[in-house]
Amino acid sequence: MEDKDKDKDKEKKYSTVSIPTPLVEKIKQRIEGTGFTSVSSYVTYVLREVIANMDEEEEEVFSKEDEEKVKERLRALGYLD
Amino acid sequence: MRTPDPDVNYIVSGLERSGTSMMMQILHRGGAPVAFDRSRQADYHNPKGYFELEGGKIINRLMEGTFPFDQYRGIFVKITAYGLQYLPSGPGYRYKVIYMQRSLDEILTSMEKMSGPLNREEERPAFEHLHRFALKILRRREDIDYLLVPYRQVVHNPVEEIDRINRFLGGMLSREDAVRAVDPDLYRNVKK
């Protein structure tokens, strides 16, 4: 693949996000001696973790208690035996 | 007009009292095939009818796993939000869902009129959670293609919304006929 094509490919797969410089400095300190090779790779990792956790929290949002209340109302409305 | 895909189960969904019957009427008037029986008659709460199967108790059949989806391919069926979790998956199952969205306060007011007093402090979060749970099912299941339709928009801008629905269905509806199903006078509990 030519360099120009590689650049184009990279442009499609990545976007630039602005992060305050003091935070970038803190991240650089934090990743020293870890397996992270750049601030970008660390930030990507953290964001993936955050989003995955948010999804897990959402999983629990419709609790058994909620479900019982909903079912009770659905019975009153005639949608459930 | 385009005919429905005979391999797809078409569903109208949303929380109960969110305008699912209105959407079924729109589809029916617009020329889409719609499955319903007369087990629950039209009444004050739904003067134009409920457009339901089995008196609205289709959820019981879904929970038991006995609803014959294969007999309803290419036809719209009303399955309210709680029932979405029971849609079977696997080879041969594909769904197109129109999901109605309406202000929860309006929904609760309508429910209260139909079924008696409710405890908003307790029931509001339960239905809000059910709504989010239903949206997550729609987002995550790859066998479901869905369109979110705001009730208020349908009442106030029927032509625009019906055009959007029609695009989602690939041109299955006659716009002029479908729009006639929207009667703003019937839609009580809508905050101005």
pLDDT digits (tens, 9 = 90+) for B133-187: 999 899 888 899 999 999 999 999 999 999 999 999 999 999 999 999 887 776 6
**CB within 8 Å: B129 and A71:** no
Mean pLDDT of B92-96: 95
**CB within 8 Å: B129 and A62:** yes
Which of A47-51, B24-28, B30-34, B91-95 bottoms out in mean pLDDT, i.e. has the lowest?
A47-51
Evaluate whether residue B47 is within a structural domain. Answer: yes
Mean pLDDT of B107-125: 90
Q: Are strands B9-14 and B76-78 parallel, antiparallel or unpaired?
A: parallel
What is the average pLDDT value for chain A, to the nearest integer?
A: 81
Helix, strand, coil fractions of chain B, as percent rounded to 5: 45, 10, 40
B48: pLDDT strictly greater than 90: no
* Number of domains forming the structure of chain B: 1
- Please give the residue range of the domain that contains residue B60: 9-186
Question: What distance in Å separates residue B56's CA from the closest CA in chain A?
Answer: 5
Tell me which residue in B16, B60, B132 faces A77 most closely, judged by beta carbons: B16
Q: Is B13 on the interface with A (CB under 8 A)?
A: no
User: Domain containing B76 — which CATH number?
Assistant: 3.40.50.300
**CB within 8 Å: B126 and A66:** yes
Chain A residue with CA closest to B78: the answer is A79
Evaluate whether residue B1 is within a structural domain. Answer: no
**B45 CB-near residues (< 8 Å, 6+ apart):** B110, B113, B114
Chain B residue with CA closest to A57: the answer is B133
Evaluate whether residue B27 is within a structural domain. Answer: yes
pLDDT digits over B128-145, tens only?
A: 999 999 998 998 888 999
- Specify the pLDDT at position A61: 77
- Specify the pLDDT at position B142: 86
Percent of chain B scoring above 90 in pLDDT: 67
Question: What distance in Å separates residue B136's CA from the closest CA in chain A?
Answer: 9
Mean pLDDT of A32-40: 89
Evaluate whether residue B172 is within a structural domain. Answer: yes
Judge contact between B13 and B81, C-beta under 8 A: yes
**CB within 8 Å: B56 and A78:** yes
Closest CA to B34 of B22, B46, B16, B44: B22
How many other C-beta atoms are found inside a 10 Å radius of the C-beta of residue A62?
21
What is the average pLDDT value for chain B, to the nearest integer?
A: 89
**CB within 8 Å: A73 and B123:** yes
**CB within 8 Å: B129 and A79:** no
Tell me which residue in A69, A80, A81 faces B122 most closely, judged by beta carbons: A69
A52: pLDDT strictly greater than 90: no
Backbone φ and ψ for A23, nearest 5 degrees, come out as: -70, -40
A60: pLDDT strictly greater than 70: no
